[in-house]
Structure 1
Amino acid sequence: MARIPSVFIAISACALLTACGGGAEEEAAAPAGDAPAEIAERQDNFEEIGDSFKAIREQLETDSPDMALIQTSAADINERLKRLPNLFPEGTSMEAGYDTEALATIWEDPQGFDEAIQNAIAASADLMAAAETGDPEAVGGQVGNLGLNGCKACHDKYRVDDD
């Protein structure tokens, strides 16, 4: 079975992990109270998405990827992305003083944010379909697609810039 070029995987993985976690900290106002549970839930959700991407990347770097593991990880990413609309209640941005990288732009542009989430969900469905084919190259292509057109596209506008 052909291996996916490591450079492609590394670039895709970097884009995805950058999009899904970590970043610069900025000054924020003092929060009005205890952080809503949704903030911890969404942060945990993104951590798990990152773990699933890592599992896929590690498999794609082998000579004989475990397609069952890739399929499970792709399905996990899809299910977790579907949770996102319920994990961003209004007022849970970093501007509200919470320890988060979510920008108030999310609630200022709810239609755009919803569209970005739906695009990520659609790209993750394409990743699941690619995983079902058993073709590592197809999976690699869809990992890149989700990273750039799903995660990164959303985070470029709705998350603190980590540069």
Structure 2
Amino acid sequence: MRAKVFVALALTVMTASAAYAQARTNAEIIAARKSQFMEIGAAFKQINDQLRQDVPIKIVVTRASTKVVNNLSQVGANFPVGSARATGVKTNALPIIWSERARFDQLLGAAVQSSRQLQALLQSGDFVGARNQVRVVGRSCAACHDRYRVKE
């Protein structure tokens, strides 16, 4: 009996979560992705600032790299079909993202992968390798931004 109640409760929670995710407005979706990119940018700046030091603080760069990887890994979910625009909400996302979704996802995947490599280097304390990998991450981010983001 308890197992049936637990299963029913779990299904209810999953259904409610899915409904909430689908019920988000475009304005909420755009705000979420903007927030993710702001967090990625701040964490990436922390990494760069630390790597400019003679002796970076390992805990600072490893925590920052975790923020970058975690946020980049979730970015794709905040670009669902139909979320290109919202009335009164500014977004730098170009509509071509949705017509070239496979390419967008491929570039995003490359950014996630290069960020994971940076994270591994930082965790191991290989700051020389990390300084080189930061440029790789920057280029992978730029590849997406150059094609799918409004030029400022």
**Unaligned 5+ residue runs, structure 2?**
1-24
Query: Residue 145 of structure 2 is aligned with which of 126, 134, 155?
Result: 155
Q: Deviations over 1:8-55 (max 9, x none)?
A: xxxxxxxxxxxxxxxxxxxxxxxxxx7431100100110010110111
Q: Could you tell me which amino acid in structure 1 is paired with residue 73 of structure 2?
A: K
**Unaligned 5+ residue runs, structure 1?**
1-33
- The answer for the alignment partner of 2:22 in structure 1 is none
Q: Could you tell me which amino acid in structure 2 is paired with residue 151 of structure 1?
A: C
Q: Could you tell me which amino acid in structure 2 is paired with residue 161 of structure 1?
A: K
Query: Residue 87 of structure 1 is aligned with which of 66, 78, 85?
Result: 78
Query: Residue 38 of structure 1 is aligned with which of 15, 26, 29?
Result: 29
Higher-Rg member (1/2): 2
- Write 1 or 2 for the structure with the bigger share of helix: 2
Q: Distance in 2 between matches of 1:57 and 1:71?
A: 12
Q: Distance in 2 between matches of 1:95 and 1:114?
A: 22
Within-5 A mapping of 1:1-163: 35-94=26-85, 98-148=89-139, 150-162=140-152
What is the percent sequence identity of the aligned residues? 34
Q: Distance in 2 between matches of 1:134 and 1:38?
A: 36
What SS does structure 2 have at the residue aligned with 1:119?
helix
Q: Could you tell me which amino acid in structure 2 is paired with residue 153 of structure 1?
A: A
Q: Distance in 2 between matches of 1:110 and 1:35?
A: 18
2:26–2:85 CA contact under 8 A, matched in 1:
no
Question: RMSD of aligned C-alpha atoms?
Answer: 1.8
For normalisation by structure 1, the TM-score amounts to 0.73
